[in-house]
Structure 1
């Protein structure tokens, strides 16, 4: 079931992430199931929903290997990670950023510190890779970026301590979630509202229409098993038709990533539930 913890000690995301759900949680609260034992999130990203719910048991997965390595290091080696981030913070400048961006080598903790450092100092906190799978976001214009948020990292580490964290494709969920004791939240790359809004570059792994159809089939299979399933996606005819057999709720959101500032602003999204 959903745990209740004092607000001041609530864990929260340690990464900025495109499509993060932190600002939408107040609209989601009424739709979270009241009782479940194990929480599953196959598109982990920044993990805002996981950190808000703070479930007693969870299996967290993502296709992005660097992201999963980072979560594991926050869970298992947070003090060593903090030390490396403090070093990055002391050295940070534009030239240092591009030097770090150019060289992804190192052990897992060094790779995790690199990802967090780049995430906190790159333009808009945007995770994007090129066709070779290399991070290619330019440096952001921050006067004093918060690179090493020690309290956030330690609180996140404690929240992750009872979680399984694995690199996996979303289809892997069928091997685990089986019954009404399980709650699955899907936050996939959204179906594009236009050609210019087609952003799926969280990894070199694309998420086109066929993947959206496959995800719907998995959603339906889990629902048939009695699993509590919730999904976020674009508010468009394609998605509404795809999930027409389920409960569809309209959520008010803010589009914050667009090359044209005038095209940022309020939009609607859908929240689909099986229950």
Structure 2
């Protein structure tokens, strides 16, 4: 097991490429899929979501203002895409995978080899919160390491913007998947990745775009809230502002789909649109025995 001092000395940018970087051609890579875990990720729901996509979606530009883990994007593999998120480190990870996946793999290799013992995890978390590797592949590697080894893949920050999720309890987590990262890089090659809030979409969305909204969900109870992706959270006022953006893009001629909790507040907000229901598994719960199915709504402005 690596000690914190050893972790701090890892030569993350000097590992020989041949030791960790795959050189497989694109045609031999696996189908792209999310390379990080994300609360509310849609990977397991795509079989329910795909039948609800609009006709002709394959010809539309794909716009996703809460990209998160990107399950919808990777499942669709659109030729044209605008992906955005308000989380600057998440956006940096996507850009790094797109533009310098070899550098990310090289930086992640020693971290993966160091393992995920709590002592190691907290040493890496300290480096991340200190801002190490800013605007470099190392920053993306630190983010991916923490995502793969923290509790349930949560991304939560405190009021200072520091990542504060505790270590997870995994025996052998897959921290580095070179082929998966390379496949994601190929899929992202022509994607426009932006750091932006959802309202900034109004300046760039065009008639005929397909826009998928997967915002932080409205809590189903007073104890179920998790909106810690950004330090200021996501309130009911934010949900209402999002609904207003949805209505404006509807008037503009975009095809729109939105996922959220199946609660009266959300149903009332989107009462003028088509609302379908799907079933999803709970992903975040400290008591595994209490995990189960929950209902979610899918809102569309088309039949």
Q: What are the ranges of 5 or more consecutive residues in structure 1 without an aligned counterpart? A: 1-5
Q: 1:10 matched to which residue of 2? A: 31
CA contact (8 A) 2:150 2:168 kept: yes
Structure (1 or 2) with the larger CA radius of gyration: 2
Once the two structures are superposed, the pairs formed by residues 1-275 of structure 1 within 5 Å of their partners are 9-35=30-56, 36-92=59-115, 93-104=117-128, 105-107=132-134, 108-180=136-208, 182-275=209-302
User: Contact (CA 8 Å) 2:104, 2:141: kept in 1 or not?
Assistant: yes
Q: Secondary structure at the match of 2:144?
A: helix
Question: Residues 135-154 of structure 1, C-alpha deviation per residue, up to 9 Å, x if partnerless?
Answer: 11111111211111111100
TM-score, normalization by structure 2: 0.86
- Report runs of 4+ in structure 1 exceeding 6 Å deviation: none
Aligned pair count reads 269
Q: TM-score, normalised by structure 1?
A: 0.94
Deviations 1:75-121 (A, max 9, x none): 00001110111110111232221111012212321110000001111
User: Is 2:275–2:298's contact at 8 Å kept on the other side of the alignment?
Assistant: yes
Partner residue, 1:3: none
Q: 1:90 to 1:265 in 2, by over 3 A?
A: same
Aligned partners of 2:30 and 2:179 also within 8 Å: no
Unaligned 5+ residue runs, structure 2? 1-26
Contact 2:282 2:294 in 1 (8 A): yes
